Structure 1
Amino acid sequence: MSSTSRGYGALAGITAAAVAVGSAELVAVGTGARSAPLVAVGGVVVDAAPEPAKQFAIELFGGYDKIALLVGTAVLLGAFAALLGMLAVRRLVVGLAGVALFAVVGVAAAVTRPGAGFPAALPSLLGGLLGGFVLWLLVAGPLEPQPWPTASPGEAPSTGDRPAPEGRRRFLTGAGLLVGAAALSGVGGRWLAGRRGVAEARSALTLPTPVSPAPPVPAGADLARSQLAPYVTSNAAFYRIDTALAVPQVDPETWRLRIHGRVRNPITLTFAELLARPMVERYVTLACVSNEVGGDLVGNARWLGVPIRELLDEAEPLDGADQVVGRSVDGWTCGTPTEVLRDGRDALLAVGMNGEPLPVEHGFPVRMVVPGLYGYVSACKWLVELELTSFADFDAYWVPRGWSARGPVKTQSRIDVPRPRNRLTAGPVTVAGVAWAQHVGIAGVEVRVDGGPWQPATLAPAVSADTWVQWSWQWAATAGEHTVEVRATDRTGAVQTGRRRPVAPDGATGWHRVTVNVR
């Protein structure tokens, strides 16, 4: 096989793959499938990947881990498609068999996703057929770049001479048009999915007025310093960690919440019925169990919703129902201790975030918000079920993957300023950050430099024990390299441990430290 033929074959394979993926996006919209093949395969990868790999991705990419996975999957698909194209130049049947294999993988991934039906198979099937047709078109059909002599019927032409100019132009023009059409199909499919989705329904929603508004943010709660996290995290800046590669589109008109399992009175609610119930509004800080010491997978927002306790009281859990399993529309589950949801804390089925309907990527139309628990055991987004069961009978999504069944948030503190790259001058320097111990509250924060004595920082006021608090400390900095550390004490008197532990299985511990240079 000549290098010229290999190059044309690789381009033919990539073009065929692009057409298959792009057309599948449109088919997914037209058939009502929840996701196109690339997303379905990516979802299987997320579920099957070992925990160290997932944690590494979160540490490396943070909230962009899903984009990184999709880009990586697309790159691998392109590489395999190029290889298939080169093989198809010699034997077309091999290339077509490879396309068929990709289609089978896509179908298998799609139909095994939670809630998938027969329409889930159609994007991969039809995309595979179009991909195979394009591969034939470019390798053995009217758009082949030159008269590669065919060795025998059913085989692609053999290689040898360079393509004639007119054949090369025909091939490149055809491939370019097909790639352009594939790109338009993919982008158009994504656009139509959004139109078919819930953005318009969300924008038309008017949130009810809470019967119990959130307490006002006290004066001075936000120190308003550059690089210091604001007391209230904006919706756009709020961290997002979940397993959904494609954000679920849940129509509030058809949304239903089932409260069932070990209860005396099963309940089914429509969205309108949920909105008609008395709403409360609270500031609550949420944290991800994957948050490293000093990490930013934590945020504070104002949530509007219905107290979960009231719904559970109506359902009347039976004896032994010590776990409430929240189930997302995409099948993801979290298991929350029933006693936590009924102990008086402001655990909510939230419909609003910072004064507007939940953003789609943060769980529209309904999600759970539970103060004091890490998100993986409490913060189910795109919620459609609450099932009463027991920890002995059911393990939620992350538990079989090595994480603790119960995830109380650990007391943490973080230095936001100064940062290692800041240019500091000897003299007064403000050290500031945030600390949190949800549902317990922060009693004090201390700072030390170069392992010296701990010095008390000044705490800003906070709305409640369910939110983080900002703190600051004035340091008389001297020239040289220095290490600054912070620790917090909660309102029970427990001091944050300095023992360094990783995030698995139930949250990282240790004191956050930064090393800075002072001139």
Structure 2
Amino acid sequence: MQSNRRMPSWAAALIGLVSGAVAVGVSLLAAGLVNPSAFPVVAVGDSAVDLTPAALKEWAIRSFGENDKVVLLGGILVVMAVIAALLGIAAARDVRYGLAGLAAFGVVGVVAVLTRPDSGLADVLPTVVGVGAGMFALSRIIRRSLVPVEELGPYGDRGHPTPGGAVGAAGAAHGTGLWETAPDSSPESEERPEASVPPVMRAGNDLRAFDRRGLLTGVLGGVAAAGVAGIAGRMLSGRAEVSVARSGITLPRPAKPLAPLPAGVDLRLKGLSPFVTPNSDFYRVDTALVVPQVDPGSWTLKIHGMVDRPVELTFADLMKRTVVEADVTLCCVSNEVGGPYIGNARWLGVSLADVLRDAGVRRGADMLLSTSADGWTAGTPVDVVLDGRDALLAFGMNGEALPVDHGFPVRQVVPGLYGYVSATKWVTDIRVTRFDEDEAYWTPRGWSAKGPIKTESRIDLPRDGASISAGRTVIAGVAWAQHKGVDAVEVRVDRGPWRQARLAEAPTADTWRQWVLDDWDATPGGHTIEVRATDATGYTQTADRVPVAPDGATGWHTIQVRVG
């Protein structure tokens, strides 16, 4: 069916947008029934993340922080909306153009879904069903918006036809072009107001005209269908079930509970990062556009590869093992000097080393290739996990079940390594292998295969760019050298002499450490403040600034303040 070339562009674009919304809503519903990870929008987004150059990813993290995935998803939806509107305009010329565009969308979605790890043929169903629904909506709304002229009254309103139609007979008589305008030659024409007669088009043997009422009802029906399908899809995606399952978990007690943190670990200064980072404030950097919803009842962890006895553990199996509690600071390799992507928590879980010993790691194995529920991988050095540090398969964080955003039901926590090589969230598989035989997600993208955390420090007080009053001023912050420990922190102002800061207590070498210099006599004017840390091995952090790639940033954190 050819469509009305004189349909307003805004109406055609609106039809395209609503049809696209129907496609997305129905595909989300189908994904909820088949496999939430098969939602094509997320699959396309994940592919975009995988194909994005590392430099662009770093720019996104620097620019948008933990909101980078929200921005990406929003950008994808905006692009989809623009394309859908253009398809609506194309369909207004010929509906086949719009259908072909939606089909092309479907092909992209199918390819993205099939390239996901562990995808199956059934995973393409959400895309196929969603595109089919979008096609139906597009054809249906266009047909409702272009009605046979005999259904239109003399003023172009549907539902009040005149005998033979207001324009039908005349249009049919002329019939020489696609578009006709019906004259009114009746004797009564001089005695009544002139009717506003819509243009008509020939579609096959039918003459049709644009009908606003048909457009409105069609659009409202499409919006309702998209909304209902989307809400149902979100409910079926498992968020509610996983939330209920998480809230019902009673964490086991550790075999050797840690003592409460002594008061000396936290200087309790307003504006200084607390020693324990609340779960709600803990940084999140990962590649998951939509947080995986993993039911602990069906979760399993497979440990295989270069082992004597492959192991498969359920969540119940894990909870029955000896439980370990540990204070560990985690840091992202994307953390710039002075950056926010670091946090400290008290973790609860089981020893990863003990699980590996049960499996029997073979000689020559030097890497653990761990895989997340969403397919992301990390490569962790075997010797680091087995050297006695508190490397955990964690299911608790700061006294509660692991938050979903941070890896529920189970994640890895390995002190002393950046998260990209150790802290796999939603972990479901660990293959014992070799660095010269396997690569994790970030390695082929230019990052180092091994990522020991570098000794660094940060100024929290005062803030960079702050205006402060003259007189005695507190300078404070945090320093970290996980699994080595911080032995000293020094501060200097305006390139003067380095002064020793006072250190807070640190329960282990695996956590960060607060520091404070509380007797700086701030004088009016602009000032530059720098900080550096020395770890327990005697290494003092370098002043040389290097970017985060390929293995973590270095340099002294430097701030500027103005004293009034």
**Which TM-score bucket, shorter chain as reference?**
over 0.9
Which residue does 1:28 correspond to in 2? 31
Q: Which residues in structure 2 correspond to 1:260-279 (within 5 Å)?
A: 260-279=304-323
Q: Is 1:134 matched with 2:137?
A: yes
Secondary structure (helix, strand or coil) at the match of 1:346 reads: coil
Amino acid at match of 2:523: T
Which residue does 1:326 correspond to in 2? 370
- The sequence identity of aligned pairs, in percent, is 53
Which residue does 2:531 correspond to in 1? 486
Aligned residues: 511
Unaligned runs of 5+ in 1: none
- 480-489 or 33-42: which moved more? 33-42
- 316-325 or 401-410: which moved more? 316-325
Which residue does 1:339 correspond to in 2? 383
Cα distance in 2, alignment partners of residues 188 and 280 from structure 1: 40
Secondary structure (helix, strand or coil) at the match of 1:251 reads: coil
Is contact 1:349-1:367 (8 Å) kept? yes
Q: Normalization by structure 1: what TM-score?
A: 0.94
- 362-371 or 148-157: which moved more? 148-157
Which residue does 2:341 correspond to in 1? 297
Question: Which whole-Å deviations, capped at 9, do the CAs of 1:24-70 have from their partners, x for residues lacking one?
Answer: 11111122342411111101111111111111111111111111110
Secondary structure (helix, strand or coil) at the match of 2:284 reads: coil
Question: Which whole-Å deviations, capped at 9, do the CAs of 1:343-362 have from their partners, x for residues lacking one?
Answer: 00000010111111111111
Which residue does 2:145 correspond to in 1? 143
Q: Is 1:93 matched with 2:71?
A: no
Offset, 1:514:
1.1
Offset, 1:180:
4.1
Question: Which whole-Å deviations, capped at 9, do the CAs of 1:100-139 have from their partners, x for residues lacking one?
Answer: 1111211221122112223311111111111111111222
Which residue does 2:124 correspond to in 1? 121
Which residue does 2:178 correspond to in 1? none
Cα distance in 2, alignment partners of residues 490 and 218 from structure 1: 22
> Which of residues 216, 224, 227 in structure 1 aligns to 2:271?
227
Which residue does 1:259 correspond to in 2? 303
Q: Is 1:384 matched with 2:384?
A: no
Which residue does 2:478 correspond to in 1? 434
Secondary structure (helix, strand or coil) at the match of 1:326 reads: strand
Is contact 1:92-1:155 (8 Å) kept? no
Cα distance in 2, alignment partners of residues 40 and 213 from structure 1: 42
Is contact 2:19-2:134 (8 Å) kept? yes
Q: Which residues in structure 2 correspond to 1:52-67 (within 5 Å)?
A: 52-67=55-70
Question: Which whole-Å deviations, capped at 9, do the CAs of 1:249-294 have from their partners, x for residues lacking one?
Answer: 2221222111111111211111111110001101100000001111
Q: Is 1:77 matched with 2:80?
A: yes
Offset, 1:470:
0.7
Residues 457 and 32 of structure 1: CA distance in aligned 2, closer, same or farther (over 3 Å): same
Is contact 2:334-2:341 (8 Å) kept? yes
Residues 417 and 169 of structure 1: CA distance in aligned 2, closer, same or farther (over 3 Å): farther
Is contact 1:302-1:355 (8 Å) kept? yes
Which residue does 2:150 correspond to in 1? none
Cα distance in 1, alignment partners of residues 247 and 231 from structure 2: 22
- 70-79 or 102-111: which moved more? 102-111
Which residue does 2:249 correspond to in 1? 205
Amino acid at match of 2:145: L
Residues 202 and 148 of structure 1: CA distance in aligned 2, closer, same or farther (over 3 Å): farther
Residues 94 and 402 of structure 1: CA distance in aligned 2, closer, same or farther (over 3 Å): same
Residues 261 and 357 of structure 1: CA distance in aligned 2, closer, same or farther (over 3 Å): same
> Which of residues 17, 38, 41 in structure 2 aligns to 1:38?
41
Cα distance in 2, alignment partners of residues 477 and 316 from structure 1: 60
Which residue does 1:106 correspond to in 2? 109
Is contact 1:35-1:246 (8 Å) kept? no
Question: Which whole-Å deviations, capped at 9, do the CAs of 1:229-255 have from their partners, x for residues lacking one?
Answer: 111011111111111111112221222
Q: Is 1:468 matched with 2:505?
A: no
Amino acid at match of 2:320: A
Cα distance in 2, alignment partners of residues 156 and 505 from structure 1: 66
Is contact 1:218-1:462 (8 Å) kept? no
Residues 453 and 176 of structure 1: CA distance in aligned 2, closer, same or farther (over 3 Å): farther
Cα distance in 1, alignment partners of residues 343 and 33 from structure 2: 37
Cα distance in 2, alignment partners of residues 246 and 405 from structure 1: 26
Which residue does 1:497 correspond to in 2? 542
Which residue does 2:52 correspond to in 1? 49
Is contact 1:24-1:36 (8 Å) kept? yes
Secondary structure (helix, strand or coil) at the match of 2:356 reads: helix
Offset, 1:458:
0.8
Which residue does 2:159 correspond to in 1? none
Offset, 1:18:
0.8
Which residue does 1:361 correspond to in 2? 405
Is contact 2:239-2:293 (8 Å) kept? no
Residues 80 and 300 of structure 1: CA distance in aligned 2, closer, same or farther (over 3 Å): same
Is contact 2:466-2:560 (8 Å) kept? no
Cα distance in 2, alignment partners of residues 327 and 397 from structure 1: 9
Is contact 2:406-2:425 (8 Å) kept? yes
Cα distance in 1, alignment partners of residues 549 and 200 from structure 2: 60
> Which of residues 351, 369, 372 in structure 1 aligns to 2:416?
372
> Which of residues 269, 281, 284 in structure 1 aligns to 2:325?
281
Which residue does 1:477 correspond to in 2? 522
Is contact 1:436-1:442 (8 Å) kept? yes
Secondary structure (helix, strand or coil) at the match of 2:106 reads: helix
Amino acid at match of 2:332: C
Unaligned runs of 5+ in 2: 148-155, 157-197
Offset, 1:183:
3.0
Q: Normalization by structure 2: what TM-score?
A: 0.87
Offset, 1:153:
4.5
- 224-233 or 407-416: which moved more? 224-233
Question: Which whole-Å deviations, capped at 9, do the CAs of 1:53-97 have from their partners, x for residues lacking one?
Answer: 111111111111111110000000001111111111112111110
Cα distance in 1, alignment partners of residues 114 and 205 from structure 2: 32
Which residue does 1:19 correspond to in 2? 22
Amino acid at match of 1:238: F
Offset, 1:154:
12
Offset, 1:371:
0.2
Which residue does 2:215 correspond to in 1? 171
Secondary structure (helix, strand or coil) at the match of 1:198 reads: helix
Secondary structure (helix, strand or coil) at the match of 1:86 reads: helix
Offset, 1:174:
2.9
Secondary structure (helix, strand or coil) at the match of 1:482 reads: strand
Cα distance in 2, alignment partners of residues 151 and 228 from structure 1: 73
Which residue does 2:445 correspond to in 1? 401
Offset, 1:498:
0.8
Q: CA RMSD in A?
A: 2.0
Question: Which whole-Å deviations, capped at 9, do the CAs of 1:191-212 have from their partners, x for residues lacking one?
Answer: 3324564111111111110002
Cα distance in 2, alignment partners of residues 441 and 156 from structure 1: 82
